[in-house]
């Protein structure tokens, strides 16, 4: 099996620490507001990686976190605290904000058929573990204290930018001097592992009492830096060294870079062997932004007549390391293709009371997945199976077996009426093709036929 490892920027053979067992940690959401489809895109990609590993025969321990404390608006040590921002906006406490949006997040995950992690770590339940790691950093000489915070001393950690490949100077801008910068910091790129309840954080809503050994500190009240959270929770649930750590590409230069530094400095061991980073979901070719009014939730999709599984099918069509562009036409196409697949399975169930797995096709699917989790290629093989001449019982069994990766709940597929009603874009192509045939423009008709099959999963037969 080959995995693209960001920590080397190349495809590498996957060799877990323990044969057939995989420790897998993924960065989860900060629950200060409703998760939109771009946020859920990350959860979907992680779910597909986890399902793939299980399908390939690995025993996976999958951990994903909920950040319900802190997380400043930027990845650096500056800006407004996200949890406090949400609490102030809605006039309730940070814990109430966390409960509200964690529940909504979990509800969206169920609709998307995203499996629950083996362990869901909630940041506020691991603050003592975070403080213990900060203590280890102090004891090991990698951290120092100022009147405002405890900082990680980046100059003492070799290969700090190995993951990002950046020059250290590129990490300086915005790395902690904004909003009342700490003049006692040794370097602008040093990052906070613990904030004291003083200065701009004097009125912080979420703080904990902790006295660090052998340290003079301005107050025992404080809270952890965002980066220390994942390091402490990963260590507590998976150990010092893990097989896979996953997150969005935006985490490479700061958050994940800092995780590596503090984890390895505190534990004296390599933190992660394989770093997986997924690309972003684009909206009409550009960035998602509330100010642009192009941010949608699963609820928004449902109000427009789509199901959460339509969106899941849409995401199956893109490799996790490729950008994917969301448009309503693309979601239309995904809806049509998913319903066609569902109807196909329903027909197979009517035609055969038995289901068996075709081993040749199963091997083809495994080969695709072993190419750095190539879900789109595997999805293409599923459509190939529907057009193959293998027995219906094997088509049914093989596709249902692979649905453990796709997560489309095909076992409950029922034949839907009105499946011949297409989106305006598809109907326009069909009409255009009919016109081309009337004009005896066979080349254009064939081009449109091929496009309908490739883009929408619709096969046209002329009788």
CA 423 to chain centre: 29
Q: Which two tokens stand for residue 151?
A: 């900082």
Query: Maximum distance among all alpha carbons in the chain?
Result: 88
C-alpha–C-alpha distance, residues 213 and 8, integer Å? 38
As beta bridge partners, residue 275 has 245
C-alpha–C-alpha distance, residues 405 and 51, integer Å? 5
Q: Residue 447, SS3?
A: helix
CA distances from 63 to 57, 233, 251 (A): 18, 9, 17
As beta bridge partners, residue 12 has 3
Taking the CB of residue 45, how many other CB atoms lie within 10 A of it? 27
Whether residue 394 is annotated as binding a ligand: the answer is no
C-alpha–C-alpha distance, residues 44 and 288, integer Å? 17
C-alpha–C-alpha distance, residues 104 and 117, integer Å? 16
- CA geometry: angle at 414 spanning 409 and 415, to 5°? 135
Query: Does an H or E element contain 65, and which?
Result: strand 59-66
Query: Torsion angle, CA of 432/435/439/442, rounded to 10 degrees?
Result: 50
Whether residue 290 is annotated as binding a ligand: the answer is yes
Whether residue 255 is annotated as binding a ligand: the answer is yes
Whether residue 27 is annotated as binding a ligand: the answer is yes
- Is 239 in contact with 269 (CB distance < 8 Å)? no
Whether residue 230 is annotated as binding a ligand: the answer is yes
Taking the CB of residue 100, how many other CB atoms lie within 10 A of it? 17
* Residue showing tokens 């929770």: 233
- Is 206 in contact with 84 (CB distance < 8 Å)? yes
Annotated binding-site ranges for ATP: 290
Residues annotated within a binding site for Zn(2+): 27, 230, 255, 259
Binding site members? 27, 230, 255, 259, 290
């Amino acid at each position: 099996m080959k995995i693209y490892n960001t920590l080397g920027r190349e495809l590498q053979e996957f060799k877990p620490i323990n044969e057939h067992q995989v420790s897998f940690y993924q960065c989860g959401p900060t629950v200060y507001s409703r998760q939109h489809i771009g946020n859920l895109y990350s959860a979907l990609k992680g779910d597909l990686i986890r399902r793939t590993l299980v399908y390939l025969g690995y025993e996976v321990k999958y951990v994903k976190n909920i950040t319900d404390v802190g997380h400043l608006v930027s990845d650096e040590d500056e800006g407004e605290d996200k949890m406090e921002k949400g609490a102030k906006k809605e006039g309730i406490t940070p814990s109430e904000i966390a409960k509200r949006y964690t529940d909504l997040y979990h509800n969206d995950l169920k609709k998307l058929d995203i499996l629950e992690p083996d362990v869901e770590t909630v940041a506020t339940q691991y603050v003592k573990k975070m403080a213990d790691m900060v203590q280890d950093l102090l004891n090991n000489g990698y951290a120092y204290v100022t009147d405002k915070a405890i900082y990680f001393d980046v100059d003492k950690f070799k290969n700090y930018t190995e993951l990002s490949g950046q020059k250290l100077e590129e990490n300086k801008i915005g790395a902690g001097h904004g909003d009342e910068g700490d003049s006692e910091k040794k370097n602008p790129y040093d990052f906070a592992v613990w904030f004291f309840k003083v200065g701009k954080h004097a009125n912080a809503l979420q703080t904990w009492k902790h006295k660090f050994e052998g340290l003079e500190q301005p107050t025992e009240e404080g809270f952890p830096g965002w980066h220390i959270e994942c390091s402490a929770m990963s260590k507590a649930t998976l150990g010092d060294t893990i097989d896979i750590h996953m997150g969005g590409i935006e985490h490479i230069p700061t958050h994940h870079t800092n995780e590596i530094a503090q984890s390895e400095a505190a534990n004296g061991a390599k933190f992660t062997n394989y770093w997986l980073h997924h690309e972003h979901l684009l909206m009409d070719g550009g960035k998602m932004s509330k100010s642009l009014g192009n941010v949608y939730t699963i609820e928004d999709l449902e109000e427009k007549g789509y199901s959460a599984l339509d969106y899941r099918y849409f995401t199956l069509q893109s490799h996790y390391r490729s950008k994917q562009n969301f448009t309503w036409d693309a979601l239309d196409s995904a809806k049509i293709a998913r319903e066609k697949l569902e109807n196909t399975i329903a027909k197979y169930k009517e035609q055969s009371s038995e289901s068996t797995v075709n081993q040749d096709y199963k091997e083809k699917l495994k080969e695709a997945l072993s190419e750095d989790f190539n879900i789109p290629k595997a999805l293409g093989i599923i459509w190939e199976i529907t057009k193959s001449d293998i027995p219906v019982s094997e088509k049914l069994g093989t596709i249902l077996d692979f649905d453990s990766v796709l997560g489309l709940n095909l076992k409950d597929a029922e034949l839907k009426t009105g499946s011949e009603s297409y989106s305006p874009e598809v109907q326009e192509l069909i009409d255009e093709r009919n016109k081309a045939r009337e004009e005896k423009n066979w080349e254009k008709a064939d081009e449109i036929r091929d496009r309908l099959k490739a883009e929408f999963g619709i096969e046209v037969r002329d009788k």
